[in-house]
Amino acid sequence: MCEHGLSNGDVLRVRVAKAPNLLHHYGIVICYAGRALVAHCPAGSTPVLEPFADFMQGREWEVNFGRQTDAGPVQLIERFNQLAQREYDLAAFNCEDFVNRMAGTTYVAGKGFIWAAFALTVALLLFLID
């Protein structure tokens, strides 16, 4: 357990200011020397590892899925370093994809899936209209 009652591997979900009731951003907690660090992949960037307070910046948050990995802090930092050079991509490497890869599981539905379903729905509607 580290500061703010968080545990290593907790997945955090915060509201996105531009669309707070629609969009969320995800990060995963790494407890290191009693401090809560959050690894996340912001839009238009490569993954970031920063203190919990910097990640929050006054945003509402919740532990979304609790602890999602048995990986220890050192292993999570190694995973972060392996992913650190990847650029954010809405369809292929967004915050959900990053958190899933950090945890070594798939439990957050990625935006890629949502966009694919949306595109398929639009294509089907266009086909039916023609």
Q: Which residues contact 79 (CB under 8 A, 6 or more apart)?
A: 71, 101, 102, 104
Spatial contact of 42 and 59, defined as CB atoms under 8 Å apart: no
Q: What's the pTM?
A: 0.78
Question: Phi and psi at residue 11, in whole multiples of 5°?
Answer: -100, 125
Q: What is the CATH number of the domain that holds 96?
A: 3.90.1720.10
Least confident of 21-25, 27-31, 56-60, 118-122: 118-122
Residue 80 burial (CB count, 10 A)? 19
* Domain that residue 106 falls in: 3-129
Least confident of 17-31, 67-81, 95-109, 115-129: 115-129
Domain count along the chain: 1
Each residue's pLDDT tens digit, 91-114: 888 898 999 899 887 655 555 556
**Rounded distance, CA 54 to CA 98, Å?**
19
Structure tokens given for 37:
């660090």
Residue 66 is predicted with a pLDDT of 65
